[in-house]
Chains A and B, each alone.
Chain A
Amino acid sequence: MSKPEKLIADGIRLDGRKPDELRPIKIKVGVLNRADGSCYFEFGGNKVIAAVYGPREVHPRHMQKSTSAVVRYRYNMASFSVEERKRPGPDRRSIEVSKVSREALEPVIFQEYFPRSAIDIFVEILQADAGTRTAGINAASIALADAGIPMKSLVSACAVGKVDDTLVLDLNKDEDNYGQADMPIAMTPDGNITLLQMDGHLSRDEFREGLEMAKKGCTAIYEMQKSALMEKYSSQIEGDNSE
């Protein structure tokens, strides 16, 4: 697709959103039986699935740490996830995304509870539509909770960017490709930032404003993550005093 003439017209974006509006999100917890924890996450056109295994034995052995668990994160795009077939297997980009996503989650995991073990996180991108790393982090943090892994809090992530000189929340494919900046951010609900990357240019004031927008976005996502987890046990424990 070639560059559209305008990415924003009358304050409305190409997909009909306002600049500070997120794409629709759909979350399902515990979709995989074999995994200790799992989550299916839809973020606009992004469809990702996250699986968590562990804590479990570390293979290969030399990777293990004697005082804490190792966290391993594998971000992988399915070959059919994008229009042009994606050559399967790890590449420069997915190795980078894996690394930064792992570092976005590590600060909240109580790794020291499980010496000499591994916590493995697998994120598969089934369909990509800009913002897959943020979708992956959102999914992975739910899957970690579902696996019963002790954490300080969940992590929520979304992107801000600049298109047609306007700051926008949660860029879509066209805005990502033809916009002026893209800045994915992951944070805990109390506002500690665990991931911040930037592609393109923002002025200092734009950066500040963008950060605030991302904060609001992450808060909204956090609420959805929370209610998705609660929903798994919806027929809940009201008045569960009998036992």
Chain B
Amino acid sequence: MDKKLVIPGDFLSDEAKLAEEGTYVEEGKVYSSVFGIASLKNHIRVVPLSGKYIPRPGDLVIGTVTEVAFSNWIVDIRSPYEGLLHISEFPRRIESTEMSRFIKTGDSIMTIVKDVDARMKVELTLNDQRTRIIKEGRIVEVTPSKVPRLIGRGGSMIAMLKNETKCNIFIGQNGKVWISGKDKGMDLAVRAILKIERETHISGLTERIAGFLKEEKGEKLKEKEPEVIEEGKEEKELDEAVKEEPISQEEEKVQEEKQGGILDELLGDDK
């Protein structure tokens, strides 16, 4: 289709009405304002290949608390602007003196951007189904502009990743990705995500990642076999059965929640 690599100042179209993100209009003509990939069908937009996360209301982001102030938690959301989580945005009423009992400096949270004003004061909230305080798992970072690719069309990429690695994966719009699951699954997920980040711009990404996951898993199966022999089969099987059940349940739950959450944003992106 009409996708191409453009640099700032490249002429894109004469139809100023269709101009969207990553473009600017001068004398009725649309030019690219960033170095990125332009798509020209329906609307004209350029997705930058790099750049910082700029918060927008409604975004689901993953942040790290840097400071517990008088009635706010100050949250680093990987943006030029810090996020403020007011005490009243905590799901239940708490006293300002005991704020750090609930969220302390260094904790990571999955949160929603409630509002951003003209001065770029970013207000966050935890009063939402999708938010939570992150207690376990790992966080990896990708370029924020690559988030839509990591999610894939209609959530295909992320669904595949979850399926193949048996991990829960949450993607913040700010490019932070939270993975939780078994160690091996998380290892694989991290490697796959970093591969996606490196190769976003090369075509056939989904198939390549599918192949990558299969390959990596194939190797792992071979590694596993000797372990089983050493430890005795029965124990191992029992162990795994116990471990796996809660995870799969949780995953289903998560997927349900997500229908209304990240998926919506995705579909929004794809329309």
Evaluate contact between A233 and B8: CB separation under 8 angstroms.
no
Residue A51, interface by CB 8 Å: no
* Given A148-B34, A237-B5, A116:B206 Cβ within 8 A: no
Least CB separation from A147: chain B residue? B50
Query: Quick check: which of A17-25, A150-158, A193-201 contacts chain B, the rest being far away?
Result: A150-158
Interface size range of chain B in the complex: 35 or more
* Given A56-B80, A237-B37, A146:B50 Cβ within 8 A: yes
Main secondary structure of the interface of B (DSSP, over half): loop
Q: Which chain B residues (200-230) contact chain A, with CB distance < 8 Å?
A: 201-207
Total number of A residues with any Cβ neighbor in B under 8 Å: 41
Residue B81, interface by CB 8 Å: yes
Evaluate contact between B52 and A145: CB separation under 8 angstroms.
no
CB distance from B124 to the nearest CB of A (A): 17
Contact pattern, A 106-142, Cβ under 8 Å of B = 1, otherwise 0: 0010100111111000000000000000000000000
B119's partner among A37, A115, A149, A226 (CB-CB below 8 A) is A115
CB distance from A182 to the nearest CB of B (A): 28
Evaluate contact between A241 and B3: CB separation under 8 angstroms.
yes
Evaluate contact between B202 and A235: CB separation under 8 angstroms.
yes
A66 to B118, CA, bound (A): 9
Can you list 23 A-B pairs with a CB-CB distance of less than 8 A? A37-B50, A54-B80, A114-B54, A114-B80, A114-B120, A116-B119, A145-B35, A146-B35, A147-B50, A148-B36, A148-B48, A150-B34, A151-B33, A151-B34, A153-B8, A153-B31, A190-B9, A230-B5, A233-B49, A237-B4, A237-B202, A240-B203, A241-B203
Contact pattern, B 146-173, Cβ under 8 Å of A = 1, otherwise 0: 0001001100000000000000000000
A54 to B145, CA, bound (A): 15
A173 to B66, CA, bound (A): 51
* Given A151-B8, A242-B204, A110:B52 Cβ within 8 A: no
Least CB separation from A145: chain B residue? B35
CB distance from B179 to the nearest CB of A (A): 22
A55 to B53, CA, bound (A): 9
Given A57-B80, A108-B9, A242-B204; 8 other pairs, CB 8 A cutoff: A56-B52, A56-B80, A115-B119, A148-B35, A150-B34, A152-B31, A226-B7, A243-B205
A188's partner among B5, B7, B9 (CB-CB below 8 A) is B9
Evaluate contact between A148 and B145: CB separation under 8 angstroms.
yes
Binding site for B on A (CB under 8 A): 36-37, 54-57, 66, 108, 110, 113-118, 145-154, 188-190, 226, 229-230, 233, 235-243
Evaluate contact between A242 and B80: CB separation under 8 angstroms.
no
Residue B241, interface by CB 8 Å: no
A229 to B49, CA, bound (A): 11
Evaluate contact between B9 and A154: CB separation under 8 angstroms.
yes
* Given A148-B34, A149-B34, A233:B9 Cβ within 8 A: no
CB distance from B118 to the nearest CB of A (A): 7
CB distance from A118 to the nearest CB of B (A): 8
Least CB separation from A153: chain B residue? B9
Residues on B with C-beta less than 8 A from A118 are: 80
Q: Which chain B residues (16-44) contact chain A, with CB distance < 8 Å?
A: 22, 24, 26, 31, 33-37
A54's partner among B52, B120, B202 (CB-CB below 8 A) is B52
Least CB separation from A229: chain B residue? B7
* Given A148-B50, A148-B52, A242:B203 Cβ within 8 A: yes
Residue B238, interface by CB 8 Å: no
A150's partner among B1, B22, B152, B203 (CB-CB below 8 A) is B22
